[in-house]
């Protein structure tokens, strides 16, 4: 049989545990480790060039972001990834990599660059690992050269 003193102590221990646990929930270790991102790299899709992103560029730079638009050559997937990698290597810190349309495939491959902290697909292809689909069909072999 437990005494009133023991029950009272148990209540306080349980209350302390609940308060301590709630404090742990408020401290998100992932958020504490997430780097501040000031770089955004945008890769345009097929049948376009980077000038189509000028309005977005203007909005983001006015908000203090360093924005770079890749002029990918659209000659092959490998060439587009290489162009994107060159731009990523010039960034001075954590970078968000954005791709539109065809560039979703490009950023999926270029996204392994250590500067990339997140990928953003804007109405873009988002292939699964090992998959390079366009409308359920394999990509044109000329786009895949040197992959």
User: pLDDT tens digits, residue range 88-128?
Assistant: 999 999 999 999 999 999 999 899 999 999 999 998 887 77
pLDDT of residue 124: 86
Same domain for 18 and 59, yes or no, is no
Mind spelling out the 3-state secondary structure of the chain? CCCHHHHHHHHHHHHHHHHHHHHHHHCCHHHHHCCCCCEEEEECCCCCCHHHHHHHHHHHHHCCCEEEEECCCCCCHHHHHHHHHHHHHCCCCCEEEEEEECHHHHHHHHCCCCCEEEEEEEEECCCCCCCCEECCEECCHHHHCCC
Instruction: Give the mean model confidence (pLDDT) for residues 126-141.
Output: 56
Same structural domain, 14 and 60: no
Same domain, 24 and 55: no
User: What percent of the chain is modeled with pLDDT above 70?
Assistant: 63
Evaluate whether 69 touches 53 at the Cβ level (below 8 Å). Answer: yes
Q: What is the pLDDT of residue 36?
A: 86
Contact (Cβ atoms closer than 8 angstroms) between residue 63 and residue 90 = no
115 and 130, same domain (yes or no)? yes
The Cα–Cα gap between 142 and 138 comes to 11
For the domain that residue 81 is a member of, what is the CATH number? Answer: 3.40.50.1820
* 74 shares a domain with 127: yes
Contact 71, 43 (CB under 8 A): no
State residue 29's pLDDT score: 57
pTM of this prediction? 0.68
User: Looking at the structure, do residues 12 and 57 belong to the same domain, yes or no?
Assistant: no
Of 35-39, 121-125, 127-131, give the lowest mean pLDDT range. 127-131
pLDDT of residue 9: 52
The per-residue pLDDT for range 57-87, each reduced to its tens digit, is: 999 999 999 999 999 999 988 899 999 999 9
Supply the range of the domain harboring residue 13.
Answer: 1-31
Residue 130, pLDDT > 90, answer: no
Q: How many domains does the chain have?
A: 2
């Amino acid at each position: 049989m437990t005494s009133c003193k023991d029950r009272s102590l148990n209540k306080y221990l349980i209350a302390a545990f609940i308060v301590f646990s709630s404090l742990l929930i408020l401290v998100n270790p992932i958020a504490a480790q997430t780097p501040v991102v000031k770089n955004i790299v945008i890769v345009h899709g097929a049948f376009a060039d980077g000038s189509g992103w000028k309005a977005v560029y203007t909005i983001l730079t006015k908000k203090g972001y360093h924005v770079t638009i890749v002029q990918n050559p659209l000659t092959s997937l490998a060439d587009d990834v290489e162009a994107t990698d060159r731009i990523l290597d010039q960034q001075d810190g954590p970078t968000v990599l954005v791709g539109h349309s065809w560039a979703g495939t490009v950023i999926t491959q270029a996204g392994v660059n250590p500067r990339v902290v997140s990928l953003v697909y804007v109405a873009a292809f988002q292939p699964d690992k090992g998959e390079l689909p366009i409308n359920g069909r394999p990509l044109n072999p000329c786009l895949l050269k040197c992959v």
